[in-house]
């Protein structure tokens, strides 16, 4: 069974076995379940008694659980010829036939498949995609229109995740970029897959509160956005700048820039790896379906930053199609997959002018130090503006030359 690595390793196949093992080792059932469900290697005294009960070494238990430390990797490398023969002869080769899939909806630039992303990925040529963005289900037991099972065991979710992640790595071009949006916990596992094949660029924290505070834990307040490239440097990195943060009411500075004001770039501040300016999609006018829709601003930023016009963008988890709409409007070619209903995606394309205006508005508010509205309120309330700093500088130097 896939979902019970730990119990399988302990030869526990049913509840009676579990109770018996617990009794023999004195490890409570709840703790054995924790090791199994959380996929954690047993520790301290528990480890000692488990090894004794199974009469195996720590290394064998690790191998039974699929845990390979770096020191073991060295031995595997040394014995790779023999080990690969053993694995290959065990007959577990991937001989699955490729199923051809046809797009269900096309636009000037894009192709949308109503299918499992794993089949769609198989049909995309290797080394052909410039940018991949993925926002998979988070396994939080949510109800999706597609009726997918969003309550897999940890083991099942991670196995499935590894499949589509490896597929995405295969189709990414050299120099292409990959972004994965998920809860921090899942992205720690996804990072450990990606670190083997791609180059880490950033763990971007997107400051969004998405659940209530949890007792005895920190208040979860960010989504993780992983950013990797295939090869040392991405082919495309278009710097994105954001406006200064100001007081919503009076337009005044929030931070004290002191004597550095005139050194600020007139195109805005450098984007950091903590994004505070992405709001969840809540307003019904902007929200096209019940849940999970990402903000157009987030996708505009990622696609503008990591691709150019004409590039190919792939998103394996369509949802309501935010990636596809933004790609189309930014003149990127795109490939999409959604296993469930796709009417909300098509509806968005029918109303593409609404999103065109949204993008225009988003773009007017980036790569500037102050947006037009900010300029207005700052001028009205007498706060400094780049031109006033420029004037002050000129006046100062005139005074000095007149002396």
Ligand X SMILES: C[S@@+](CC[C@H](N)C(=O)[O-])C[C@H]1O[C@@H](n2cnc3c(N)ncnc32)[C@H](O)[C@@H]1O
Residues contributing to the site for ligand X (CB under 6 A): 116-117, 135, 137, 144, 146, 148, 292-294, 316-317, 319-320, 322, 337-340
Beta bridge partners of 207: 222
Minimum distance from CB of 133 to ligand X (Å)?
8
Q: Which of 244, 330 has the CB closer to ligand X? A: 330
Q: Which of 130, 293 has the CB closer to ligand X? A: 293
Minimum distance from CB of 350 to ligand X (Å)?
16
Per-residue tokens: 60: 């064998």
Minimum distance from CB of 295 to ligand X (Å)?
8
Query: 227, 271 in Cβ contact below 8 A?
Result: no
Backbone angles phi, psi at 60, to 5 degrees: -65, -40
Minimum distance from CB of 321 to ligand X (Å)?
6
Identify the helix (H) or strand (E) that includes residue 75. helix 70-78
* Block residue for tokens 């037991």: 141
Q: How far apart are CA 342 and CA 88, in angstroms?
A: 41
Query: 379, 356 in Cβ contact below 8 A?
Result: no
Q: Which of 109, 117 has the CB closer to ligand X? A: 117
Q: How far apart are CA 243 and CA 250, in angstroms?
A: 16
Least Cα distance to 374 among 201, 276, 279, 242 occurs for 242
Q: Return the biggest CA–CA distance within the chain.
A: 96
Q: How far apart are CA 377 and CA 280, in angstroms?
A: 26
Per-residue tokens: 38: 């959380």
Helices (H), 154-295: 154-171, 184-197
Residue with the CB atom nearest ligand X in the bound state? 319
Query: 71, 79 in Cβ contact below 8 A?
Result: no
Q: Which of 317, 334 has the CB closer to ligand X? A: 317
Contacts 24+ apart (CB under 8 A), 11-20: 11/54
Beta bridge partners of 224: 182, 205
Q: Which of 116, 253 has the CB closer to ligand X? A: 116
User: What contacts 277, CB < 8 A, 6 or more positions away?
Assistant: 242, 297
Minimum distance from CB of 38 to ligand X (Å)?
23
Q: Which of 179, 370 has the CB closer to ligand X? A: 179
Q: Which of 37, 116 has the CB closer to ligand X? A: 116
Minimum distance from CB of 235 to ligand X (Å)?
24
Q: Which of 5, 113 has the CB closer to ligand X? A: 113
Query: 349, 321 in Cβ contact below 8 A?
Result: yes
Minimum distance from CB of 181 to ligand X (Å)?
7
Minimum distance from CB of 327 to ligand X (Å)?
12
Q: Which of 99, 266 has the CB closer to ligand X? A: 99
Minimum distance from CB of 137 to ligand X (Å)?
5
């Amino acid at each position: 069974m896939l979902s019970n690595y730990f119990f399988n390793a302990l030869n526990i196949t049913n509840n009676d076995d579990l109770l018996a093992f617990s009794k023999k080792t004195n490890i409570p059932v709840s703790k054995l379940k924790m090791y199994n469900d959380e996929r954690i290697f047993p520790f301290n005294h528990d480890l000692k008694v488990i090894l004794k009960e199974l009469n195996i070494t720590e290394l064998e238990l690790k191998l039974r659980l699929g845990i390979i430390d770096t020191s073991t990797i060295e031995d595997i490398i040394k014995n790779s010829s023999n080990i690969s023969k053993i694995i290959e002869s065990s007959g577990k080769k991937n001989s699955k036939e490729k199923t051809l899939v046809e797009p269900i909806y096309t636009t000037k630039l894009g192709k949308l498949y109503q299918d499992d992303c794993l089949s769609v990925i198989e049909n995309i040529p290797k080394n052909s995609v410039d940018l991949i963005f993925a926002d998979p289900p988070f396994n939080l037991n949510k109800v999706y229109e597609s009726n997918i099972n969003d309550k897999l065991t940890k083991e099942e979710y991670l196995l499935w995740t590894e499949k589509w992640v490896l597929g995405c790595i295969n189709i990414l071009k050299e120099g292409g970029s990959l972004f994965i949006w998920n809860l921090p916990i899942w992205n720690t596992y996804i990072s450990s897959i990606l670190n083997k094949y791609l180059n880490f660029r950033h763990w971007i924290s997107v400051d969004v509160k998405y659940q209530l505070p949890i007792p005895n834990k920190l208040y979860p307040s960010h989504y993780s956005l992983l950013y990797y490239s295939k090869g040392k440097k991405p082919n495309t990195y278009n710097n994105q700048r954001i406006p200064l943060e100001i007081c919503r009411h009076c337009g005044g500075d929030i931070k004290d820039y002191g004597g550095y004001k005139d050194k600020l770039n007139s195109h805005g501040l450098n984007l950091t790896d903590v994004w505070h300016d992405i709001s969840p999609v809540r307003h019904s006018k902007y929200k096209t379906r019940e849940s999970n829709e990402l903000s157009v601003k987030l996708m505009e930023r990622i696609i503008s930053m990591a691709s150019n016009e004409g590039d190919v963008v792939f998103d394996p988890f369509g949802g309501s199609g935010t990636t596809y709409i933004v790609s189309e409007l930014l003149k990127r070619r795109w490939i999409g997959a959604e296993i469930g209903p796709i009417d909300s995606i098509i509806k968005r394309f029918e109303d593409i002018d609404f999103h065109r205006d949204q993008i225009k508005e988003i773009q007017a508010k980036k790569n500037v130090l102050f947006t037009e509205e900010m300029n207005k309120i700052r001028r009205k309330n007498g706060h400094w503006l780049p031109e006033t700093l420029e004037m002050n500088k000129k006046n100062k130097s005139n005074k000095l030359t007149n002396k």
